[in-house]
Structures are given as structure tokens and as C-alpha cells.
Amino acid sequence: MEYDAGTHSLKCPKCQHGMEEVTHEGVAIDRCTHCKGMWFDGDEAHRLKDLKDGHLLDIGDPKDGWKWDSHADIKCPHCGKQMEKASDSKQKHIWYEVCPDHGMFMDAGEFKDFKFESLLDRFRSLIKGNRANIAP
């Protein structure tokens, strides 16, 4: 949907369409009505990650997200400064855009990845831990 200041909470930094506010258990984020990318203020991404069903807000198709992933040069929707590309310290394949002052942007599907990969990682280390316990 074309961005309209009266209807939308933010203008998508990636595709310039309107973003709408969506809430899950008290964490409100902005999601693009077009590319389904998600904007997180401050530490909202981590707060949402800790909620069991937080990934339900990430409704986009990862295939669409990847299409947009190449549009790396985006500007912060709040201050207009060029955002920095950053990768998750634990999951290097996940790239997102960060404004140090305002928050971060993830493409459709990236948040799910962000959330579940880490569960998988935690699971892996659990298995490793168990093995260490039963090892002679």
C-alpha cells in the first residue's frame, strides 16, 4: 500500500510503502504492508524473540524477503541516516540493517530465522552437553 502519513505508522525504508503497527503480547513493531519487512525500535527484536509465538508477526514469505535483501542501502525511517549492515553475532548468515539511534530492520522471514535458528542452536548445545555427560 502506498505510504500515507495518516494511515501508516512508518514508511518502509526498503520499498517505500506504508508500514502498519502490529502488536504481540505488548511488543509493538512496524510491518510493511508491501514487502512485509519488519522494523524494530530499540531492543524490540530481542523482546519479541523471547515470546513463544513472536514469530507469528513475521508473515512474509522468505522468498520475497530474499528478493529485497539485495536492497542493502536503506535509510533509517526515523532520522534518514544511512543504516549499517550488521549480522547477528551468533548467526552470521542473518543480515539486517541497523540505525544505532533508532532500531533495526529485518526482511520478511528473517525474524523467524533469527528466532528459530537460535532455538536449534540451543538444542544442539544441549545435545552436546548431554553427550559430554554420558561420555566415559
Residues found near Zn ion in the complex (CB under 5 A): 12, 14-15, 17, 32, 34-35, 37, 76, 78-79, 99, 101-102
**Min. distance of Cβ 17 from Zn ion in angstroms?**
5
Residue 47 vs 78, nearer CB to Zn ion: 78
Residue 61 vs 101, nearer CB to Zn ion: 101
Q: In whole angstroms, how far apart are CA 49 and each of 72, 75, 131?
A: 23, 24, 28
| Residues contacting 130, CB < 8 A, separation 6+ | none
Residue 63 vs 92, nearer CB to Zn ion: 63
**Min. distance of Cβ 57 from Zn ion in angstroms?**
15
Q: DSSP 3-state assignment of 92?
A: coil
**Min. distance of Cβ 49 from Zn ion in angstroms?**
21
Residue 8 vs 49, nearer CB to Zn ion: 8
Quick one: DSSP state of residue 60? S
**Min. distance of Cβ 32 from Zn ion in angstroms?**
3
Other Cβ atoms less than 10 A from the Cβ of 71: the count is 14
